[in-house]
Amino acid sequence: MTNSGHKIKVVCRVRPFLKSETPDESVAVESSSLLRVTNPRDSSKDVKFNFDSCYGPGIGQEAIYKNDVRPLVETVFNGLSATVFCYGVTGAGKTHTIQGTEAEPGIIPRAMEHIFKHQERDAFDYDIRVSYYEIYKEAVFDLFRSRDTMPPAGLPIREDANRRIFIAGLSEKKVTSYEQFEQLYQKACRNRRTASTKLNNHSSRSHAILTVQ
């Protein structure tokens, strides 16, 4: 993540054990910024890693958004660009953190609700437009379009006269309320490619990017 205080801010979240896993103490959050990991080559030794923020399995979505994402979204209202990049192996909990569930919304729905509330509170007159696409097997697909209307090879990636990279043919939707965005977003999420893995019955098999202008 990036914000006005740091060019890059790294946050670590440790998920709870799955029912199919045997709990152990090989990974533990020791403080709000320190992670301890048992050395896989020598279980008698630990390796420690420092992050800007660390969250254990008991921390919910709201705390993570309030502490580390909300300040980032606030910088957007000052005219800055911001990015949240969720990284981890299959089954790490990326989709839960970024997308969440109806009961526990993730970063994307919380950020969009934040943006619309800010617009209503301060009566700012600006358009909000979103695009949403996935990268699957090195091809780009528009998630706001049904799969049967997409080229089999995906959308082409091109460079404009100013050498900026863009996706040709990617749709951009104007949204005027959080409710409208949520309806559009949920439909797009169902277009994502998923498959069963040993760690996750509905693993997202692609990289998804939501852009808000």
Beta strand residue intervals within 53-164, DSSP E: 53-55, 128-136, 139-142, 157-159
Which residues make Cβ contacts (< 8 Å) with residue 87, sequence separation at least 6?
Answer: 94
Annotated ligand binding at 100? The verdict is no
Annotated ligand binding at 91? The verdict is yes
Q: How far apart are the first and last CA of the chain?
A: 18
Annotated ligand binding at 89? The verdict is yes
- Distance, in Å, from the CA atom of 16 to the CA atom of 147, rounded to the nearest integer, reads 34
Q: Which uninterrupted H or E stretch holds 174?
A: strand 173-175
Annotated ligand binding at 154? The verdict is no
Torsion region of 204: left, alpha or beta (phi above 0 gives left; psi -120 to 50 gives alpha): beta
Annotated ligand binding at 140? The verdict is no
Annotated ligand binding at 14? The verdict is no
Question: What number of residues does the chain have?
Answer: 213
Q: If you write DSSP's letter for every residue of 29-56 in order, what string do you get?
A: E-SSSEEEEE-TT-TT-EEEEE-SEEE-
Which position has the token pair 């909300």? 70
Which residues fall in the annotated binding site? 88-95
- List binding-site positions for ATP: 88-95
